[in-house]
């Protein structure tokens, strides 16, 4: 294999090749940095590239491997969504508010992957403060989908999904509050994994909606997602929502055997809102699982249609609280020459935040205000509990719930920016897992009009192994995940 081909490798393939000495970590990193320099201008997938830091980390990985002391991920390149704090490297959240913020510490996700030997190539573009489904709300500009530059790569982890699909890096971290890993994965033909709430630490991950946010990964194979989850997961005493649950070796346990696996089909997910061709691709994928021994069974989630309105009460309410810290006083953007403290607050926040973030702050403040708290916020929390109970009952009958990840393939940039409600409906099939705190995964399952679509799988709490194995079994029988945009092959 020549260095010109190194970008084609998955994490797992690169790890095996490094162990065999086919190339060095420095050669792998240099090859990808060259691609980033040449191809990122068209994608706009990166906010920051950390070339020198990456080369230094790669040299250290080569030294450990030469000494016979390789780490789990030694020398493997990854990119972090720009919502994770990285010591000495700016963390912007895609916002003018944090355009020049340099974190004094690493997020736990960053630290654990670094301690396992992973090499950070840079920070990926994203919707501002993770609020968006198209990566168009970023202060640094929209990200293009490598399958069609006129289309969105999804959001909010659109930079991560685009750079993995375009082979600028084999993997990237992301965050998922209502589908922000899985929806962009579906729209770019990549694998997107959101673990159980509390499975991966949120320490150092700048908060949007604290009861919904969860860190995860975007990769090209399920095996790679399992490998990264093994390194990322685990209890963290610095995160009060972290759960002390043993972490298995997810990758080692993959066997692809789905004989007898009960797969639940939610008929509400195949209604009139689903693009017909996308539905056909998902049904064909379900047929593949059935042919490998899985048992398909209809399940009912009677309250799932209320997930979008519930989410858009709960999430903005939490955002209005979390983003109150950005006031122009302690850190972040500060307005010039304020007349007084109130003027400082108003202009700093007015200048620092974009339109979508302001919309959600205002919505959240409204639903939490006196006279509306009971009518909106408490009612939404009650419906959230009903949705979680629906899932609990369903998992008494099945092991995995399956359906489409997104209602359509990738849409054109600008097509939905003037209609927030239509934009919000892109997450209609993924939000339920966040409201219930369940693990979810999107795996490529076909193309519609030349654009990828995804199969969405959800499992019970801490059943990531079941989820990963079902998706891995599907990938063993299909090759959609190996497809690459022609311009990035």
Which amino acids are annotated catalytic?
A: 81, 156, 180
Contacts of 73 (CB under 8 A, 6+ apart): 11, 15, 113, 116, 117, 118, 227, 228, 231
- Residue-level length of the chain: 489
Q: By the 8 A CB rule, do 259 and 293 touch?
A: yes
What residues pair up with 458 in beta bridges, in sequence order?
401, 440
435-441-443 Cα angle (round to 5): 145
Judged by DSSP in three states, 239 sits in coil
- Token digits of residue 351: 């200048």
The per-type count for the chain, helices as H runs and strands as E runs, is: 15, 11
In degrees rounded to 5, what are phi and psi of residue 102?
A: -115, 115
- Based on the number of CB atoms within 10 Å of its own CB, is 294 exposed (0-12), middle (13-18) or buried (19 or more)? buried
Long-range contacts of residues 416-420, Cβ cutoff 8 Å, at least 24 apart: 416/134, 417/134, 417/136, 420/356, 420/359
Q: Which of 474, 360, 405 shows the shortest CA–CA distance to 181?
A: 405
Q: Residue 254: helix, strand or coil by DSSP?
A: coil
Q: Taking a C-beta distance cutoff of 8 angstroms, is the pair 396, 297 a contact?
A: no
Closest to 290 (Cα-Cα) out of 318, 262, 255 = 262
- Output phi, psi for 115, to 5 deg: -65, -20
Find out whether 465 and 400 touch, Cβ atoms under 8 Å: no
Phi-psi region of 273 (alpha: psi -120 to 50; beta: other; left: phi over 0): alpha
Residue whose C-alpha is closest to residue 24's, from 54, 79, 56, 65: 65
């Amino acid at each position: 294999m020549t260095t010109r081909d190194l970008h084609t490798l998955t994490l797992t393939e690169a790890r095996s090749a490094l162990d065999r000495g086919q190339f060095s970590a420095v050669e792998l990193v240099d090859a990808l940095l060259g691609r980033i320099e040449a191809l990122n201008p068209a994608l706009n997938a990166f906010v920051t590239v950390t070339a020198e830091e990456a080369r230094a980390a790669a040299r250290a990985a080569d030294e450990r491997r030469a000494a016979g002391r390789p780490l789990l991920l030694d020398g493997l390149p990854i990119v972090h969504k720009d919502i994770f704090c990285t010591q000495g490297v700016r963390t912007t959240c895609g916002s003018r508010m944090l355009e020049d913020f340099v974190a004094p510490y690493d997020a736990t996700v960053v630290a654990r992957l670094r301690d396992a030997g992973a090499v950070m190539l840079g920070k990926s573009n994203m919707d501002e403060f993770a609020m968006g489904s198209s990566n168009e709300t970023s202060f640094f500009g929209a990200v293009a989908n490598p399958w069609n530059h006129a289309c969105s790569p999804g959001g909010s982890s659109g930079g991560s999904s685009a750079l993995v699909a375009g082979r600028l890096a084999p993997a990237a971290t992301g965050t998922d509050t209502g589908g922000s890993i899985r929806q962009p994965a579906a729209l770019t033909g990549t694998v997107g994994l959101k673990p159980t709430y509390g499975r991966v630490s949120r320490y150092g991950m700048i908060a949007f909606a604290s009861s919904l946010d969860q860190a995860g990964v975007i990769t090209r194979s399920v095996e790679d997602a399992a490998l990264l989850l093994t390194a990322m997961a685990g209890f963290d005493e610095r995160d009060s929502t972290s759960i002390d649950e043993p972490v298995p070796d997810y990758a080692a346990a993959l066997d692809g055997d789905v004989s007898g696996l009960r797969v639940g089909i939610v008929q509400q997910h195949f209604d009139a809102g689903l693009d017909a061709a996308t539905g056909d691709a998902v049904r064909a994928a379900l047929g593949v699982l059935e042919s490998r021994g899985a048992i398909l069974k209809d399940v009912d989630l009677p309250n799932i249609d209320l997930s979008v309105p519930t989410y858009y009460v709960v999430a903005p309410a939490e955002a209005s609280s979390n983003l109150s810290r950005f006031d122009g006083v302690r850190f972040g953007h500060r307005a010039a020459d304020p007349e007084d403290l109130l003027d400082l607050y108003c202009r700093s926040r007015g200048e620092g935040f974009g339109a979508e973030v302001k919309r959600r702050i205002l919505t959240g403040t409204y639903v939490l205000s006196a006279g509306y708290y009971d009518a909106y916020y408490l009612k939404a929390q009650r419906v959230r509990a009903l949705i979680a109970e629906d899932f609990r009952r369903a998992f008494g009958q099945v092991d995995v719930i399956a359906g489409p990840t997104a209602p359509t393939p990738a849409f054109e940039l600008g097509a939905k920016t003037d209609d927030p409600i239509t934009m919000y409906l892109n997450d209609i099939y993924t939000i339920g897992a966040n409201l219930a705190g369940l693990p979810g995964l999107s795996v490529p399952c076909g193309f519609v009009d030349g654009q990828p679509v995804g199969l969405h799988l959800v499992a019970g709490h801490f059943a990531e192994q079941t989820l990963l194995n079902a998706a891995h079994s599907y990938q063993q029988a299909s090759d959609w995940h190996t497809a690459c945009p022609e311009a990035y092959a």
